[in-house]
Amino acid sequence: MRRPKGKPYESELERLLGEASWLLSHAEALVDYGRAEEATSELARAARCEEQVACLLDAAGREQEAVVHRVSAASCHEQLGQYTRAVTLLRAALSASLPGDYRRRIEQQLVRCLTQAHEELHRLSSVRLASRRGGHGGVAGS
């Protein structure tokens, strides 16, 4: 497969790298200011940007950097409570060749997200069950 090369591609990648960084730091500032709703929306944008950056870095042959940005995207999703998406990204990150201690840190984060995803599923099941017992009976909205 041919890798995209050349200055326009690289400058676009650099622009996106910069944008992801800016969004992350802005989200952090909004958290500091207690503006939770805006922080959530900025973090979601940062997550999307980091995912895009990771793919482009992979395409540019910068696999190690791609892992860093994939983990960064996963960390945003984790903070947003989107654990299943975080798990997918962390699993993708672990498929690369990584230094031992970094791999361990990602594995710990993966375990944490899997636990949260499991608890979320359990909560959703309980809510659904309670709603059925509440007399709604049939399958709503289907």
Partner 1 sequence: MDERQTFQWDIEDIVAAHRNLYLEHCVVMAVALMSQQSASPCEFTVECEGFRPSALGAETRFLLRVLWTEQTALKAQRVWQTEQPRSIVERAAVALAALLFAKLVPHGQMRVTRAGDRADYWLPRLQCALEVSGTARSREMPRRQREKIVQVLSNPLGWDGYTVVCCFAAARRLIRWSYHRQEVKSDASS
> Which spans of this chain sit near partner 1 (rule: CB under 8 A)?
17-22, 24-26, 28-29, 32-34, 50, 64-65, 67-69, 71-72, 75-76, 78-79, 97-103, 105, 109
- What token pair was written down for 131? 């709603």
- What token pair was written down for 93? 């990150």
Nearer to partner 1 (CB atom), residue 8 or residue 101: 101
Closest approach of partner 1 to the CB of residue 72, in Å: 4
Residues 85 and 69: their CA atoms lie apart, in Å, by: 14
- What token pair was written down for 132? 């059925």
Tell me which residue has tokens 């361990």. Answer: 104
Q: Identity (one letter) of the amino acid at 102?
A: Y
Packed helices 63-79 and 36-59: angle between N→C axes, nearest 10 degrees: 160
Nearer to partner 1 (CB atom), residue 95 or residue 142: 95
Closest approach of partner 1 to the CB of residue 33, in Å: 7
Nearer to partner 1 (CB atom), residue 12 or residue 122: 12
Nearer to partner 1 (CB atom), residue 65 or residue 120: 65
